[in-house]
Amino acid sequence: MTINYDEKGKFFTSVISKDTVKARIQTTAQIIEGDVHVRRDCRLKDELDNGEPFLAVTDAHVFNSNGEELFCTRFIAVRRDQIIWITTFKDFYEGDNEC
């Protein structure tokens, strides 16, 4: 890691700080549950709009359309153009509809 300082003592680094967000992602063929990493002071939507072709998901569980777990992995890159919808676990209601 490189740290640079300006004349006022402010430092700059090549490391980008991110927050972990637990998310559920519906793709064209599967549902993926795992951690998406979002830049601090940004929204999940901002991370989706950053222009990179893949969205990194860690500690991921991949399910088929019947809800059966196909596999789990520490890392998976999801092609953004294959995402139909995404929600955070914080915003997701299962069972009791609180919407």
Interatomic CA distance for residues 40 and 47, integer angstroms: 10
pLDDT digits (tens, 9 = 90+) for 49-77: 888 999 999 999 999 999 999 999 999 99
Contact residues for 13 (Cβ-Cβ < 8 A; gap 6+):
1, 2, 3, 4
Bridge-partner residues for 69, per DSSP? 63
Whether pLDDT at 3 is above 80: no
Tens of pLDDT along 29-43? 999 999 999 888 888
Greatest Cα pair distance, the chain, in angstroms, is 59
80-90 pLDDT per residue, tens: 999 999 998 87
pLDDT of 58: 95
User: What pLDDT score was predicted for residue 79?
Assistant: 95
37 contacts 20 by C-beta, under 8 angstroms: yes
Note the pLDDT of residue 18: 76
> What contacts 94, CB < 8 A, 6 or more positions away?
none
- Domains of the chain, earliest start first: 17-88 (2.30.30.100)
pTM of the predicted model, to two decimals? Answer: 0.75
CA-wise closest residue to 38 among 59, 23, 15, 19: 19
Query: Residue 36, class by beta-carbon neighbours within 10 Å (0-12 exposed, 13-18 middle, 19+ buried)?
Result: buried
